[in-house]
Amino acid sequence: MQEIEPASPLSPSARHRAASLKERVYIIFTTLAVVLALRSHADETTPAAAAATLSIVVIGSLLGILVADLLSHLAVHSTLPTPEELRQMVAISVGALSVLVTPLILLLAAGLGILSTAAALSWAVVVLVVTLLVVGYLAIRRLDIPLRHKAAIMLAEVVLSLLVIGLEFVAHHL
């Protein structure tokens, strides 16, 4: 099977943006999976425990992605990453931590008694889904394709996102 090469090589900044986007989407889905699992057991957990669980899973996932990036770099280039390449890998992972901000703020509100844990986690699901839509829009907004194609891409993203949420819901209720 042949790999399709882009018409022109990506610039380093384009590769960096693509890697950042890919990692952010992955972490949003990871965060969404954890929040949905926590939401299904909201009456059995505290806001602090939910925040700790969420943070541990997301940070662990990002460290795993960083290790995968390092190993793939070694396999492809047969050399250690340059300091600049390593800095970019770390920056992408650290930047993806921003996905945690709103869910943790919502869980803090639950800890302060402003929201219930279930409500905080439900709002976190809403925020994460909206974040996926915004990221998807930002990814396609400059594409030189007809508006109907952009709409089809966004619809496909929504359908696939709902499918992921549905699968996670089913998995946590078996």
Residue 39 in domain = yes
| Residue range(s) defining the domain that contains residue 139 | 13-172
Residue 53: exposed, middle, or buried by beta-carbon count in 10 A (0-12, 13-18, 19+)?
middle
Question: pLDDT band at 54, cuts 50/70/90?
Answer: very high
Q: Is 172 within 8 Å of 37 (Cβ atoms)?
A: yes
* Cα four-point dihedral sign 72, 74, 77, 82: positive
Is the per-residue pLDDT at 4 higher than 60? Answer: no
Residue 41 in domain = yes
Distance CA(80)–CA(82), nearest Å, equals 6
Distance CA(9)–CA(3), nearest Å, equals 14
Burial 107-118 (b: 16+ CB within 10 A, else e): bebbbeeebebb
Mean pLDDT across the chain, nearest whole number? Answer: 87
The domain total for the chain is 1
What pLDDT, in 10s, does the model give residues 111-143? 999 999 999 999 999 999 999 889 888 888 888
Residue 3 in domain = no
Is the per-residue pLDDT at 12 higher than 80? Answer: no
Residue written as tokens 């989407």? 25
Residue 7 in domain = no
